[in-house]
Amino acid sequence: MTIPTLGTLSGRKLVTDLQSFGLQIGEQTGGIARKGGAGPSDHKTITIAGQTVMVPVYTSGARHSPFQASPPDQRGASTLLRDGQALGTIHFPAAPRFYGLSTADGIPYWKIALLHGRDTLATTVHQTCIRYADRRTSCQFCAIGQSLEADRTIAYKTPAQLAEVAKAAVELDGVRDMVLTTGTPNVVDRGAAVLAESARAIRAAVDLPLQVQCEPPRDHGWFQRLRDAGADSLGMHLEAATQAVREKIMPGKATVSVDRYMDAFASAVPVFGRGQVNTYILAGLGDSAADILALAERLIALGVYPFVVPFVPISGTPLENHAPPSADFMKSVLAPLGRMLREANMKSTDIRAGCGRCGACSSLSAYE
């Protein structure tokens, strides 16, 4: 039995369902996985009908998912089942070759940057945040400190380390773009300075499109500085659509209001170009579908690509038992959003670098 491609109605429904329900897996699936960290996590990478996507596997919901994967064979091939019925073959991609290397001082490359999706390299330059230690100010879904505590990363990746790993990932594994994100180190440039320094070093070492991600800096002149340093696209992530949900879920980050984000987007788009400024929106935190779509309409009008993904509860965070959005809820958002993007001629395939281009954490691109 062959799984339908994501371009078909049944194919995108399957991936939307998988990303909402999660996937039950055995202990020895191998491949590429991510636990903890700053962004969507507790996933495993799978290739389904030729498309590489991230599917929750380490969440409480995934343990009760109707989807199961049989133990993979030596090539990483596995049978995907729903309620015990075989749907077809999926693959667990092997770890990239650059994971086997280390820096001269003995730091494994995978502690510096990770492969996301099919061919996107990603790193959190500063694995710390001024808000994380105090739950009165931290984002309730964030696990930026977990991977550091578990010795799966290092606190700060130097520009030289990032350049070395990026070059190896391109040469050994054909990586096509890179995401540089950061915990918020201060409330002035909000990480833009360290991102610019990192981008400049990477672009001096290898021709690799880059997306940088941070909160809006107070000085919007940083957008041009980031562009001049070699960044091709910019991510400034609202996470939630309404100020009320933002204040409940991310009380510290919500002090930078939706209106201030919109002002920053208006300043950034002329620098990076239409569609090259993105924002992450986590569906399922409490915003209605209408709330998300209303915000998306405003963003698209500004030239900002709204990358909507299903919220994935990460173990060990205050929201670990918060239910992910249903597949029906995601379809009620993604289908009309896909139409809006088509009408605006704003496509994920036109994004030079970043989460929207990778697309592995959402089935949005299949709805465009």
Cβ neighbors of 362 (< 8 A, separation 6 or more) are 19, 307, 308, 309, 310, 334
In a shared domain, residues 146 and 233: yes
Could you tell me if residue 19 is inside a domain? yes
- Whether residue 239 is found in the same domain as residue 289: yes
Let me know: does 340 contact 297? Beta carbons within 8 Å: yes
Domain assignment present for 1: no
Nearest to 239 by CA among 249, 224, 226, 230: 249
pLDDT at 14: 93
Collapsing DSSP to helix, strand or coil, 357 comes out as helix
Domain membership of residue 4 (yes or no) is no
List the pLDDT tens digit at each of the 368 positions of the chain: 678 777 788 888 999 999 999 999 876 566 666 665 555 667 889 999 888 999 999 888 888 899 999 999 989 999 999 999 999 999 999 999 999 999 988 999 999 999 999 999 999 999 989 898 887 899 989 888 888 888 889 999 999 999 999 999 999 999 999 999 999 999 999 999 999 999 999 999 999 999 999 999 999 999 999 999 999 999 999 999 999 999 999 999 999 999 999 999 999 999 999 999 999 999 999 999 999 999 999 999 999 999 999 999 888 889 988 999 999 999 999 999 999 999 999 999 999 999 999 999 999 999 99
175/244 same-domain check: yes
Number of structural domains in the chain: 2
* 262 occurs within a structural domain: yes
Domain that holds residue 34: 9-91
pLDDT at 359: 94
pLDDT (0 to 100) of residue 128: 87
CA distance 193 to 216: 12
Q: Which residues pair with 307 in a beta bridge?
A: 280
Domain end (from 29, 57, 91): 91
100 Cβ partners below 8 Å, 6+ apart? 109
The reply to whether 192 and 337 lie within a common domain is yes
- Beta pairing partners, 51: 48
d(CA 37, CA 179): 14
3-state helix, strand, coil in the chain (%, to 5): 35, 20, 45
Task: Mark which of 72, 91, 110 sits at the end of a domain.
Answer: 91
Q: How many CB atoms lie within 10 A of CB 2?
A: 8
Q: Both 75 and 150 in a single domain?
A: no
258 contacts 300 by C-beta, under 8 angstroms: no
Looking at the structure, tell me whether residues 56 and 114 fall in a common domain: no
- Decide which of 63, 91, 119 is a domain's last residue: 91
Any domain includes 129: yes
Same domain, 208 and 317: yes
Nearest partner of 124 among 166, 179, 176, judged by Cα? 179
Whether residue 186 is found in the same domain as residue 57? no
What pTM does this model have?
0.93
Q: What's the token pair of residue 253?
A: 């980050």
* 285 and 178 housed in the same domain: yes
**122 and 27 share one domain:** no
Q: Are residues 150 and 180 in the same domain?
A: yes
